[in-house]
Chains A and B, each alone.
Chain A
Amino acid sequence: MISQHILTITIFFPLVGVVALFFVNSEKSQLIKLVGFLTTVATFAFSLFLYFRFDAAAPGFQFREYAVWIAGLNISYFVGIDGISLLLIVLTTFLTPLALLGTWNSIHKRIREYTMMILLLEIGMVGVFASLDLFLFYIFWEAMLIPMYFIIGIWGGKDRVYAAVKFFLFTLFGSLLMLVAIIALGVYASTLPGGYFTTNVLQLYGVAPRMALTLQTWMFLAFTLSFAIKVPLFPFHTWLPDAHVQAPTAGSVLLAGVLLKMGTYGLIRFSLPLFPHAAFTFVPLLGILAVIGIIYGALVAMVQTDLKKLVAYSSVSHLGFVVLGIFSMTEEGIQGAVIQMINHGLSTGALFLIVGMLYDRAHTRMIADFGGVAKVMPVFSTIFMIVSLSSIGLPGLNGFVGEFLILLGSFKSMFLGTYAYATFAASGVILAAVYLLWAYQRVIFGPVREGGLYGGHTLSDLNMKEVVSLSAILVFIVWIGVYPQTFLSKSGPVAKQLVQGLEFVRSGGQIRTAELPVTNGPSGH
């Protein structure tokens, strides 16, 4: 029973915590935090079960569960994972407890509701990565917006309402277009000979690529715009700095660590395999936007005065790399993109925790308010250094593996067709060092502030909970840097299959499945 439904259990287990919290007195803040934390740890344990039972050599999606939902429309509760979704799910369940642990004392009001929101958010995040039905995917995608909206709007900073509304509207705008495209896709399936309305992704994989180019283009744009806003790809990124700066630390960690990945995940899972012909025509545009994002994000990050905003803009730069890797449509590029999604989740997640820890102590995030922190917070400074280096892409740490594979892939990509993309993107490697080391230097190096006061407060070094949460991330920062094969081997077969499919279509091949399967169900792959 359990092993058959392990994926569903992983998705919905946080609900157990939410229900339990209803019965906890809202005054007992320690107990609330403990329930929240233990729930997410248990969820992580379930996902580890997935991880170790996953067979990277086997093709297709594993741990599939299928249940008819809306029979007439052939909409189903259909979940399953491949190597890429597996890694992103484990990342999600790994980061959620660390986000709670690392910000143990940061939230002071309505802790119970806050914890519930984080748990609900986790359900949405894991659900998105596990869905194999577009309708189900859409439900999770939208459902996740709501807790995030409240997390920013209630527990955020000074301008939280503006930021929350901006975040909500930006993403909602994109996802409504996607909803239209999902319905159109289902309708298209029903117009085929012997066809019927369906939102089953595996069935659509067989028929969608054969759509006429015009139709395909519109659908590609609808899906891709929605994902591009989420990523966020330049020029749809302006919601991000506001949302990040205003969100409470745990919100920022999950926003950067997981939510942004949904955009890039969507590109890999839907935009490319469903609409390959349209994707080919848009490779130059998306490539250019990605490269602009890399350079633009880095340059704007460089001149920020607020440390949190700096980290937010650095995400624009890093995610530009991921999009470039995806649209290089090479195995190196897509493998690099996947590992870079994980890397960004770890490094930027850790950076937001770090900024949060600094803010909790000094009640300021302005770079100019710091200096000489190395003397008063040595452990903190060391961890901050390693995480910065990981974000800069120092070989031996995780960021390098992703960036290198992405750049190599986009360099040799026949779809991009020119060295220019990789060459310009590689300049981001220089700029990353500029903005992060400059910020690090201004915060950590130099003489200690007069009287050791920062924003009127003295700084104490990290406590045990904080050290544990950051150290857990450091382990993987080093692990992926030294031995990325552990993770690359999970996503490798998926990337290979995707690229082979794209190259096949490119060379004029037709996807084999000419018609929808006669029987409804979780067929095809």
Chain B
Amino acid sequence: MFSYTPLIVLFPLLGFLFLGLFGSRVKNEKLLGIIGSGSVGLSFLLAASLFATMLGLHPEERKHVVELFMWISAFTGSSSSFSVPVAYQIDQLSVLMTLIVTGVGFLIHVYSIGYMHGDPGYWRFFAYLNLFIFAMLNLVLADNFLLMFLGWEGVGLCSYLLIGFWHDRKFETGGYKPGTAMTGDAAKKAFVVNRIGDFGFLLAMFLIFVHFGSLNFDSVFARAAALSEGNNAMLWIGLLLFLGATGKSAQIPLFVWLPDAMAGPTPVSALIHAATMVTAGVYMVARCSVLYALAPEALQVMAVVGALTALMAATIGLVQNDIKKVLAYSTVSQLGYMFLAMGVAAFSAGIFHVLTHAFFKALLFLGSGAVIHAMHGEQDIQKMGSLKHHMPTTYKTFLIGAIAIAGIPPFAGFFSKDEILWKAFSSEHGSVVLWAIGVIGAALTAFYMFRLVSLTFEGEKRYGADVHPHEAPKTMTIPLIVLAFLSIVGGFLGVPESLFGGNALERWLEPIFAPAYDKLRMSSHPVEITEYLLMVLSVGVAAAGIYAARAIYLRRTDIAERWKTKFATAYKVLLNKYYVDEVYDAAIVTPTVKVSEGFLWKGIDVVVIDGIVDGSARLIATVAQGIRRVQTGIAQQYATVFVGGIFLILMWLILK
């Protein structure tokens, strides 16, 4: 059964090849959509049946590796040689990620059938989506770092291609190139910023290979488990891998690409920039939990970065007016929570949040897509309002998503977020400060989400008479309903002991993280009264956030306006996203271009090096001109020089 694992990866690849090679000739949208969605659906079914088989097995028997062929090997023979195969590993963690990727991926493919209807690049869109799923599955199923890196870069490429999908369209960055940026600029920015992270990933792989002599997960982690902590190299490996994660998962300082990535079609934002690709960094850290257990300082850095990102992005989300931008910053913020979890060594809590976030954030993005669709491309929530009457299904499902992300029980987001907050407070690696930042972030999350809901769906209608919003077609609403259902029940996979749950997810993942927990000497805590207090508190702030948002944006709209003027500076800073883009531009991008052009090219190349070359050529020409004069052709002169020469030689011989 497990030998079929590579097929999970193969189906989307076949889908991509078919659509990429022949798609342009297939005029039938339905057929293209069925092939595109079908390939992912097949992968999902296979993954689900593998999962079902795994459920029936002992925890130790759940892991399987299927090797296909040797990929890169520097030479043959020696045992210490560098060689990496293409091999897939299915275990408790990778099967979970595979189910998320193919399951949510399938729903988004189906949604796209309706959303992309009539687009001239219809086939191309599905080809790219299938390629993305293929790359993402390589990322999560790889049994070694190098193949994971292939997936890692592959999803980055698909992200690039899909952000720039409508490459002839303009795009409002809210930062650089105001009014003139094209979607291609956003795509390029995403790729390049991610490459900065990949640079860290690459160096980490080199260090891993130098220290462990392999890039294979099993051998690296087995050897790591035998090491003791306090190794400097492990700290570097941890930090460099995390640099990679900050790129892919949009954390400080590399988060700047994700909000711009909203230039892509909305299903792309849902699939790549919310549910799957951006969580790759979290998955990678989870996969390397043993390595991180050897470098607790790296975990501390991660916890701080995660918490700060969660807070910073949430504050920006408070004032954005583009429906997708709000969701984008929300994603950055939620990813911050996941890294906070990882940083306090609550690995399974982080993965739990990956799962629930995939449900409710995909739902919210797809809902926003339905809204944009209905509003004929309008994304400014200031020009919406009262849409719930025209698109009730979208409204209801969106509302479920919003409640879930706000952390109201028993919706999915409550369980995962609360577990993170509790671990941030109680873990040996957590602290009250980290917990407090998390709670403030939670309040802000509830506030900006319900600001979004209120301005979009409720209150007064603020759009022109020429816009006639309508409910989305079935292919779009069915995925919304499924995701809404999952956003309600998804949390029950991880009900904590304190709420009389078995925390099924944590137990399922136990074998994966056990070596790391051992290393970190983590003990399990008995249920305390504090846990309930904190739980009540976090639900309380969420409820308060919701109430405040509804009060301000539905009943007392004047308050928002007054605050804008009262806190004008703060408002401007938030609206401009702390000017991070501008700072990067002024500090890095512009100087690099200026120095490269003015100094390196037109200075060193043209003036210095060519100057020396041309100068020496001129020098030789000048000298030759001089020497030429000696050759006068007058015999008497030659004779004079000749005699003079003999005279000088004689003199020298005599005087010597």
Question: A interface vs B, CB < 8 Å?
Answer: 166, 169-170, 235, 238, 241, 296, 299-300, 302-304, 331-332, 335-336, 372, 374-375, 378, 389, 394-396, 400-401, 404-405, 407-409, 411-412, 419, 422-423, 426-427, 429-430, 433-434, 437-438, 441, 444-448, 482-485, 488-489, 492-493, 495-496
Contact = CB atoms under 8 A, between A and B. Distances in A.
Residue among B182, B184, B191, B613 facing the most chain A CB atoms (10 A cut-off): B184
A493 B207 CA distance: 26
A303 B192 contact: no
A394 B82 CA distance: 20
A429 B168 contact: no
A331 B167 contact: no
Contacts of B73: 485, 488
B191 A331 contact: no
What 9 A-B pairs have minimum CB-CB distances, sorted nearest first? A445-B167, A492-B75, A395-B150, A445-B184, A299-B596, A303-B597, A411-B206, A441-B184, A332-B74
A141 to B, nearest CB: 21
- Determine chain B's interface SS by DSSP, over half rule: helix
Interface in B1-39: 24
Nearest to A330: B74
Contact of A303 (B78, B150, B593): B593
Interface size class on chain B is 35 or more
Interface stretch (B48-56, B194-202, B266-274, B636-644): B194-202
A53 to B, nearest CB: 20
Given A296-B600, A429-B199, A405 B605 contact: no
A373 B592 CA distance: 28
Interface stretch (B64-72, B87-95, B281-289, B520-528): B64-72
Given A336-B74, A426-B202, 18 more contacts: A238-B610, A241-B605, A299-B595, A331-B75, A372-B168, A395-B153, A395-B154, A408-B206, A411-B207, A423-B203, A430-B196, A437-B188, A445-B182, A446-B168, A446-B184, A488-B72, A488-B75, A495-B74
A241 B609 CA distance: 13
Contacts of A304: 601
B632 interface: no
Contacts of A427: 199
B253 to A, nearest CB: 15
23 contacts: A296-B600, A300-B596, A303-B596, A303-B601, A332-B74, A372-B168, A405-B72, A411-B203, A430-B195, A433-B195, A434-B192, A438-B188, A441-B167, A441-B182, A441-B185, A444-B167, A445-B184, A485-B70, A485-B71, A485-B72, A493-B75, A496-B77, A496-B78
B10 to A, nearest CB: 14
Contacts of A492: 74-76
A379 to B, nearest CB: 10
A166 B613 contact: yes
A426 B157 contact: no
Given A374-B167, A433-B195, A300 B75 contact: no
B463 interface: no
A444 B160 CA distance: 14
B167 A446 contact: yes
A296 B149 CA distance: 26
Interface of B: 24, 69-78, 81-82, 146, 149-150, 153-154, 157, 160, 164, 167-168, 182-185, 187-188, 191-192, 195-196, 198-199, 202-203, 205-207, 209-210, 592-593, 595-597, 600-601, 604-605, 609-610, 613, 617
A235 B609 contact: yes
A40 B168 CA distance: 42
Contacts of A238: 605, 609-610, 613
A374 B595 CA distance: 31
Contacts of A396: 150, 153-154
A300 B199 contact: no
A408 B198 contact: no
A437 B182 contact: no
A394 B157 CA distance: 8
B199 A430 contact: yes
Nearest to B614: A166
Contact of B75 (A302, A303, A335): A335
A217 B164 CA distance: 53
A35 to B, nearest CB: 35
Nearest to A410: B206
A446 B182 contact: yes
A299 to B, nearest CB: 4
A335 B74 contact: yes
A484 B72 CA distance: 6
B70 A375 contact: no
A370 to B, nearest CB: 13
A170 B612 CA distance: 12
Nearest to A303: B597
A426 B200 CA distance: 9
B601 A395 contact: no
A200 B77 CA distance: 31
Contacts of A408: 82, 205-206, 209
Nearest to B156: A394
Nearest to A381: B167
Contact of B605 (A300, A404, A423): A300
Given A238-B613, A429-B199, A394 B153 contact: yes
Contacts of B596: 299-300, 302-303
